[in-house]
Structure 1
């Protein structure tokens, strides 16, 4: 392995914690995943309000034709009912995952207990914490300590072995340290913790560790080989914990979205009905023509609130799912022609 290849092997081809290049990129990250979803929905509603006000001021749109306005109100009512139906379907999907027979519930519980026991053994603690965020913190600390122990175990090895492994362990310690800082600031249920877990590229680190073990396994000392295996086991546990954390978080997020949509759905339908009633009189709108545009714009914004919530929540859940769409050392966002680990059949022989 040449020095250039060694440098490439330490690159993260997934997401990177805290990497923001510029104000626009930072705002995009806040808008898509990091920002509070209610705040993002309010921002979207504010943009719609400003757009309607500007278009009205420029006389591009008007609210004088009753037929056009009532058609808009009818479309809003139909759209809101469709959205509520979608929310009910999402709730049914979430509830279906919670219903299980006694045998499945027992198997699920035993699996969680076994996993927590493995975490406690790896982190060398009496029992793993109950808080998922703290579990992730323990695993990142375990990964960092395993990487440091592996670096110490290869200090007396040949340069050909010591240099790539040392570069790799330095990268692992740097990134896990960054993840640990983010996790300490987050709480379970907040996106700070789940963002740190998802953006940590443990899949790539596991891939590199597996490659190093396959390439230098026969040349490593028994101590170094054992430390490398411990690091691989810790990375595997982190991947399992991340998937469990992500699943629980998405369930809570979608449930919260369902609640907010129901809360906003009734005012949305009422506002659309009021728009139709304002223009339903044969003598014209029932309010003064001076305030009619403002009232109509306000009711339209209220009617579009469920749509703003849908956009804000789907943006985050879809991004979380996309960024974590890898299991173990399978990195779908990685270009197969990139990286230093290009192998062919029978190369080991």
Structure 2
């Protein structure tokens, strides 16, 4: 799913004979969630929520399920734990799983880091491409290109807003009422979307999801499509000034696409490295917990109970939740990266979701 256009909700029936006068949904909502129709909880769980918090909530869910299930089936669990060394077996397996998982994550980190390595010629080409892009952006905006990623994206978004305002003014004296209406709806939507995205980007530091989130909110691909469609449908009535503004606006939006993709790629690398660091930190207490349960608890049932729940259930449930934290953190990070990747599969004005065509 590409957020640029696939995140745009278009409720019209598909009709190959649809003309410009029957196009109703030129404008779109200002946020990705509103365009996709997803619930706030799902968006928070997969994207907006802090990854460590999400992993902690998943661990609490596992703890709660184990406490409830262990209490309900306690007699069966107690007998098995006393006679078959269930606790020792479970946590011995978890030790192997933790070590294997950490090794896998470290391998992924090495692959990510290796992407930054290369001979001098490749590094020089990367630098040259980056400086060419920045120079072209400077020509478009008329100001030095910001070094901060959020400020860079914000500059392109605000530049597209300025061109949209110029476009709206350029058609005010047009004899075509349909042209004025469609351009008015299109520019109102673009300006509103630009203001919302730029406000979200202002002052944000790279490394936080907010920067990528604001970039995803700005569905530039749908806007490029509307520019191409309106310019073609009203080609006979457009003035030279309006054509020029259309071209300039399309150029700015086209520049936003690769800029967003580049920053998204950097963010993915940042997230995967952060994932590796956090898993390394969590793997130590997870291993200690699993080793403690295997060595000191083993198959011996703990006597007594607390709050009507046997102590064996409290201890084993809590220990299991702790040992799953590295894996749960991996799930939370991959959920975000995979969701972003799916919503930005295509670059440019492509619609990948059937319900939004």
Q: TM-score range by the shorter chain?
A: 0.7 to 0.9
**Cα deviation per residue 1:131-186 (whole Å; 9 max; x = unaligned)?**
00001111111011111111111112222332222221121112111111211263
Structure 1: segments with no counterpart, 5+ residues: 339-349
Aligned counterpart for 1:54 among listed residues 59, 64, 68: 68
Please state how far the C-alpha of 1:25 moved relative to its aligned partner: 2.0
User: SS of the counterpart of 1:250?
Assistant: helix
**Cα deviation per residue 1:23-47 (whole Å; 9 max; x = unaligned)?**
x922221111001111111111112
Aligned counterpart for 1:302 among listed residues 322, 327, 346: 322
Does 1:69 find its partner at 2:87? yes
Query: TM (normalized to structure 1)?
Result: 0.86
Q: Quick one: structure 1 residues 89 and 214, their matched pair in 2 at CA, closer, same or farther if it must change by over 3 Å?
A: farther
User: SS of the counterpart of 1:217?
Assistant: coil
Maintained 8 Å contact 1:269/1:303: yes
Aligned counterpart for 1:16 among listed residues 31, 35, 40: 31
The CA RMSD measured in Å over matched residues stands at 2.4
Moved more, 294-303 or 311-320: 294-303
Structure 2 counterpart of 1:328: 348
Q: Distance in 2 between matches of 1:49 and 1:302?
A: 9
Q: Distance in 2 between matches of 1:78 and 1:122?
A: 56
Q: Distance in 1 between matches of 2:159 and 2:291?
A: 59
Maintained 8 Å contact 2:27/2:189: yes
Provide the aligned length of Structure 1 versus Structure 2: 329
**Cα deviation per residue 1:216-242 (whole Å; 9 max; x = unaligned)?**
334311110110001001101111111
Q: Distance in 1 between matches of 2:248 and 2:334?
A: 38
Please state how far the C-alpha of 1:124 moved relative to its aligned partner: 1.7
**Cα deviation per residue 1:86-122 (whole Å; 9 max; x = unaligned)?**
2022112201211011111111111111111122222
Q: Quick one: structure 1 residues 25 and 335, their matched pair in 2 at CA, closer, same or farther if it must change by over 3 Å?
A: closer
* Matches for 1:1-349 after TM superposition, within 5 Å: 1-5=19-23, 7-11=24-28, 16-17=31-32, 19=34, 25-60=39-74, 62-63=77-78, 64-65=81-82, 66-125=84-143, 127-157=144-174, 158-184=176-202, 186-280=204-298, 285=300, 288=303, 291-333=311-353, 335=355, 338=357
Q: Distance in 2 between matches of 1:259 and 1:159?
A: 59
Query: TM (normalized to structure 2)?
Result: 0.85
Structure 1 counterpart of 2:7: none
Q: Distance in 2 between matches of 1:21 and 1:122?
A: 31
Q: Distance in 1 between matches of 2:57 and 2:225?
A: 41
Q: Distance in 2 between matches of 1:296 and 1:146?
A: 62
